[in-house]
């Protein structure tokens, strides 16, 4: 080991290392909090002034990070935030947790990674470790980041260290958190891997070392491709079961009684969030560059992206059966976030469904305790309360996200027509012909 390796290893093990986390969204803030709880001095860097201001006041803007957890860390000076990159010069650890969306062409957009890297470059020095957590295509760490570090004269694995460790945050999941989910780490060199592992052992004892960043990058994409493909299978099952007059939810529940060889996935109005709609396409894009087409991924994407239109057709058909046209009908959407009990609407299928309903002339309103305002294209809406009166007055209630705060018994009793895409009314629908499912 070099002197720089030993010095950084000691700082990590004694928890005297200074950490800069770049990007304070779901991933970055959760990680910053855990590192600060472990005793390290953490400076978060985010260009969003409101986020930085809230954090410095000890106020949380994420459901998964309680203010009573955040505030003491800020009060003790263990966690601070900035909108500039100067603090990176004194940091021993740099962790990049910025978004990696898709372009409209469905190609990877790593512009946020590149922007963060360019802002960091003037502040880099020997004795630091940089870890990329942003989900990206295999090869990004070694093909994009590494050359830029080498161009500044840094010798990776000797006086500077570089690794990839995929984020695994699951918003709203109380069982599996940043502190309890195993971390995969892959460094450019063995020393890089060892130091990245030493870093993450400060917040979790479950660290799995792999041979390279490329392995770690691919593993992350496989995790969410697995989910995308299986959700697509469940969605296709919903289509098929409707054709043959079978309840797909009952079929899945029956199959799930098998104690081996089966894992239940469920249909829904589409896929959303920052991972499942995006990550498989990062993998298929990289594979396509070799001349091979990942057909399974493409088919799953096609099926999943067809669900919003299917839901709108279900609403139109259900209204038609009652002698009503979709144009002019009132539709109350329950839940617009991409999953229950979070305030994240990224890639939520509800957004596309609301737009489609609006374009077809429906009078759309929505209720969501986590999203008080919604602005998409030329449509601006404010959340309403799903009161007894509101439920009774609407032509169709459309359940897109099954938040735990909704009173499903009242919904089943008071709504004259419900299209339930989440099986939220499972306990009531066999007694009510007015409840339509996928």
- Quote the domain boundaries for residue 161: 3-211
In terms of DSSP bridges, do strands 183-187 and 160-164 run parallel, antiparallel, or are they unpaired?
antiparallel
129 and 194 belong to one structural domain? yes
In terms of DSSP bridges, do strands 128-132 and 93-96 run parallel, antiparallel, or are they unpaired?
parallel
For 70-104, give the DSSP string: HHHHHHTTSEEEESSSGGGGG-SEEEE-----B-T
User: Considering 97, 192, 241, 275, which one is annotated as catalytic?
Assistant: 275
Number of folded domains that form the chain: 2
How many C-beta neighbours within 10 Å does residue 364 have?
21
The half-sphere exposure of 112 on its side-chain side, counting CA atoms within 13 A, is 21
**pLDDT at res. 226:** 97
259: DSSP letter: S
**pLDDT at res. 1:** 73
> Which phi and psi (to 5°) does residue 29 adopt?
-65, -45
275 is catalytic: yes
String of b and e for 273-311 (b: at least 16 CB within 10 Å)? bbbbbbbbbbbbbbbeeeeeebeebeebbebbbebbebb
Tokens of 211: 């041979």
The answer as to whether 216 is a domain residue is no
The answer as to whether 304 is a domain residue is yes
The answer as to whether 99 is a domain residue is yes
For 176-229, give the DSSP string: S-TTTS-EEEEESSHHHHHHHHHHHTTT-S-EEE-S-HHHHHHHHHHHHHHHHH
pLDDT band at 329 (very low <50, low <70, confident <90, very high): very high
131 and 258 belong to one structural domain? no
**pLDDT at res. 319:** 98
Q: What is the pLDDT of residues 359-384, one digit of tens each?
A: 999 999 999 999 999 999 889 999 99
40 and 162 belong to one structural domain? yes
Which of 211, 242, 276 terminates a domain? The answer is: 211
How far apart CA 120 and CA 123 sit, in angstroms, is 5
283 and 366 belong to one structural domain? yes
Q: What is the mean pLDDT of residues 204-232?
A: 97
**pLDDT at res. 275:** 92
47 and 190 belong to one structural domain? yes
**pLDDT at res. 431:** 76
pLDDT band at 224 (very low <50, low <70, confident <90, very high): very high
164 and 251 belong to one structural domain? no
Tokens of 433: 């012909």
Q: For residues 392 and 414, is the Cβ–Cβ distance under 8 A?
A: yes
How far apart CA 180 and CA 194 sit, in angstroms, is 20
pTM: 0.94
How far apart CA 336 and CA 381 sit, in angstroms, is 12
The answer as to whether 217 is a domain residue is no
**pLDDT at res. 14:** 96
Q: Look up tokens 């093909």; give the residue.
A: 143
pLDDT band at 432 (very low <50, low <70, confident <90, very high): confident
Q: For residues 237 and 248, is the Cβ–Cβ distance under 8 A?
A: yes
Q: What is the mean pLDDT of residues 146-153?
A: 96
Which of 145, 176, 211 terminates a domain? The answer is: 211
The answer as to whether 386 is a domain residue is yes
In terms of DSSP bridges, do strands 79-82 and 93-96 run parallel, antiparallel, or are they unpaired?
unpaired
What's the length of the chain?
A: 438
Q: What is the mean pLDDT of residues 43-50?
A: 97
The answer as to whether 393 is a domain residue is yes
Q: What is the mean pLDDT of residues 236-241?
A: 96
- Residue 112 to residues 22, 39, 125, 134, Cα–Cα distance (Å): 10, 29, 22, 9
Residue ranges of alpha helices (H) inside 245-333 are 248-255, 279-288, 295-305, 307-320
Nearest-CA neighbor of 228 among 175, 302, 291, 159?
Answer: 302
Q: What is the pLDDT of residues 169-188, one digit of tens each?
A: 888 888 888 888 999 999 99
194 and 278 belong to one structural domain? no
The answer as to whether 222 is a domain residue is no
184 and 231 belong to one structural domain? no
152 and 283 belong to one structural domain? no
Nearest-CA neighbor of 106 among 231, 282, 236?
Answer: 282
Tokens of 58: 């000890």
CATH number reported for the structural domain that contains residue 97 in this entry: 3.40.50.720
How far apart CA 348 and CA 326 sit, in angstroms, is 22
231 and 203 belong to one structural domain? no
Longest dimension (CA), the chain: 79
Which of 211, 235, 252 terminates a domain? The answer is: 211
pLDDT band at 324 (very low <50, low <70, confident <90, very high): very high
The answer as to whether 358 is a domain residue is yes
**pLDDT at res. 12:** 96
**pLDDT at res. 169:** 85
413 and 336 belong to one structural domain? yes
Tokens of 319: 């209204």
Q: Is the dihedral of CA 57, 58, 64, 68 positive or negative?
A: negative
Q: For residues 145 and 130, is the Cβ–Cβ distance under 8 A?
A: yes
Q: What's the mean pLDDT when you consider all of the chain? A: 96
How many C-beta neighbours within 10 Å does residue 378 have?
7
Q: Which helix (H) or strand (E) segment is 381 a member of?
A: strand 379-382
How far apart CA 192 and CA 156 sit, in angstroms, is 8
25: DSSP letter: S
262 and 379 belong to one structural domain? yes
3-state helix, strand, coil split of the chain in percent (to 5) is 40, 15, 45
How far apart CA 260 and CA 156 sit, in angstroms, is 45
In terms of DSSP bridges, do strands 79-82 and 41-45 run parallel, antiparallel, or are they unpaired?
parallel
């Amino acid at each position: 080991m070099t002197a720089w390796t030993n010095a950084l290893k000691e700082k990590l093990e004694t928890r005297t290392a200074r950490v800069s986390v770049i990007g304070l969204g779901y991933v970055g803030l959760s990680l910053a909090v855990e590192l600060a709880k472990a005793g390290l001095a953490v400076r978060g860097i985010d260009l969003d002034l409101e986020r930085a201001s809230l954090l410095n006041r000890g106020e949380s803007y994420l459901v998964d990070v309680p203010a009573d957890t955040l505030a003491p860390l800020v009060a003790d000076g263990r966690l601070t935030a900035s909108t500039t990159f100067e603090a990176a010069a004194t940091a021993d650890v740099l962790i990049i947790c910025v978004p990696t969306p898709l372009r409209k062409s469905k190609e990877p957009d790593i512009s946020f990674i590149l922007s963060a890297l360019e802002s960091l470059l003037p502040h880099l020095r020997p004795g630091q470790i940089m870890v990329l957590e942003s989900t990206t295509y295999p090869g990004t760490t070694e093909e994009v980041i590494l050359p830029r570090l080498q161009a500044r004269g840094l010798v990776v694995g000797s006086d500077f260290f570089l690794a990839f460790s995929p984020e695994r945050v699951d918003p709203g999941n109380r069982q599996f958190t940043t502190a309890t989910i195993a971390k995969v780490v892959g460094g450019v060199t063995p020393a890089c891997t060892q130091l990245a592992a030493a870093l993450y052992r400060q917040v979790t004892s479950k660290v799995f070392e792999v041979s390279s960043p490329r392995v770690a990058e691919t593993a992350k994409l496989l995790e969410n491709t697995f989910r995308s493909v299986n959700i697509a299978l469940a969605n296709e099952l919903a289509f098929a079961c409707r054709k043959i007059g079978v309840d797909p939810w009952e079929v899945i529940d029956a199959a799930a009684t098998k104690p081996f060889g089966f894992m239940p996935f469920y249909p829904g109005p589409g896929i959303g969030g920052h991972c499942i709609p995006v990550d498989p396409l990062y993998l298929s894009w990289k594979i396509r560059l070799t001349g091979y087409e990942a057909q399974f991924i493409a088919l799953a994407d096609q099926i999943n992206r067809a669900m919003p239109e299917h839901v709108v057709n279900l609403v139109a058909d259900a209204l038609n059966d009652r002698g009503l046209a979709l144009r002019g009908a009132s539709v109350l959407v329950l839940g617009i976030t991409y999953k229950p009990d979070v305030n994240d609407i990224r890639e939520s299928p509800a957004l596309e469904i609301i737009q489609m309903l609006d374009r077809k002339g429906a009078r759309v309103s929505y209720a969501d305790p986590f999203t008080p305002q919604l602005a998409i294209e030329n449509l601006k809406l404010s959340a309403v309360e799903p009161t007894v009166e509101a439920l009774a007055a609407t032509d169709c209630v459309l359940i897109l996200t099954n938040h735990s705060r909704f009173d499903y018994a009242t919904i089943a009793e008071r709504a004259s027509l419900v299209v339930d895409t989440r099986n939220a009314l499972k306990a009531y629908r066999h007694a009510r012909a007015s409840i339509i499912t996928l």
